[in-house]
Amino acid sequence: MSLPSRRVFLQTMAAGAVALPFLSPTAGAEPPHKFPGVLGLEMYTLRHLFDKDLTGTLQMVKDWGFTDVEGGNWYGRSAAGFKTLIAGYGLRMQSVLTGYEKLRDDAAGAIADAKAVGATYLGTAWIPHQGTFTRTHVDQAVADFTKWGKALKAEGLQFHYHVHGYEFQPSADGTLLDTLIKNTPPEVAFQMDVFWVMRGGGNPEKLLTTYPGRFQLMHLKDIAPGTALGDPTGSAPDETSVPLGKGQVSWASLLKIAPGAGVKMFYIEDEHPKAELQVPETLKFLATL
């Protein structure tokens, strides 16, 4: 990593230092944050830095106070090797995301990797489709998710699907996301990405209360003021990802109901090109709630 990038690291860590007690519990104690479950970082947030300096970026994540990360890229290592690497920074990975095709074509391999890295959740974040997402795509996903959910449960894992915004096309059930949830068994959990739910036109709080227990994971991600909502394309400029509290999401009310609705795993995710400068702001905001 270049020296200017290293300076950014150090400045960012200094900015985030105030948030460390908010994340770091003492051994055996209740976590001091207000989430009755995991509060971690989705590694995709720092993808541009991990590609340049894996160990330096892991050190930054540790210094921010995180003990949990979510990922799926082993950066040239085996899953077991990656578990050992991140353990050296006091990190663990309880949730893994992988490609739909990987689960379809090599479910055994995906399961083996998830278990090797120490995860209990294994999911996917994109249902393959060209153009508009349709009921045909949902029907295929229902069949696959049902199969994967049962297979993972037999291996002691929980399958989940990360909502990405394109599922809010209208259907007889309300939206295609409603159709997907209603036609999959309890073995299929869902991960609410708050940004993409808002972008697609959904209501995060209503989804949690309508489907209690189905959304077991959540990506904490805010959407910039002025960004159009009700756009079910599953796409948006990376720059529209802003620190929590700076966007359109009503975090206080959403996070108040999330645990009671069954959310157990909360992961901060920020897709902005300079996300490393925004994560400390997010941590400071969460500490105020």
In this predicted model, what pLDDT tens digit does every residue of 80-133 receive, in sequence order? 999 999 999 999 999 999 999 999 999 999 999 999 999 999 999 999 999 999
- How open is the CA angle 65-162-258, to the nearest 5 degrees? 60
Place 143 in a pLDDT band, splitting at 50, 70 and 90: very high
- Between the CA of residue 135 and those of 144, 165, 168, 180, 204, what are the distances in Å? 14, 15, 11, 9, 22
Q: Which domain holds residue 110?
A: 37-288
- Whether 82 is in a domain gets the answer yes
pLDDT value at position 13?
37
Place 166 in a pLDDT band, splitting at 50, 70 and 90: very high
Surface-to-core class of residue 260, CB atoms within 10 Å of its CB (0-12 exposed, 13-18 middle, 19+ buried): exposed
Q: Which residues contact 7 (CB under 8 A, 6 or more apart)?
A: none
- Whether 237 is in a domain gets the answer yes
More confident residue, 61 or 22: 61
- Whether 271 is in a domain gets the answer yes
pLDDT value at position 37?
82
Domain of 213, CATH number, reads: 3.20.20.150
Residue 96: φ, ψ to 5°: -125, 140
- Whether 16 is in a domain gets the answer no
Residue 60: φ, ψ to 5°: -65, -45
Split into its structural domains, the chain has a count of 1
- Whether 50 is in a domain gets the answer yes
Which residue bears the tokens 């944050």?
33
How many whole angstroms separate alpha carbon 42 and alpha carbon 91? 12
Supply the pTM of this predicted model.
0.89
- Structure-block tokens of residue 87: 């353990």
Residue 241: φ, ψ to 5°: -90, 120
Taken as a whole, the chain contains a residue count of 289
Residue 193 has pLDDT above 60, yes or no: yes
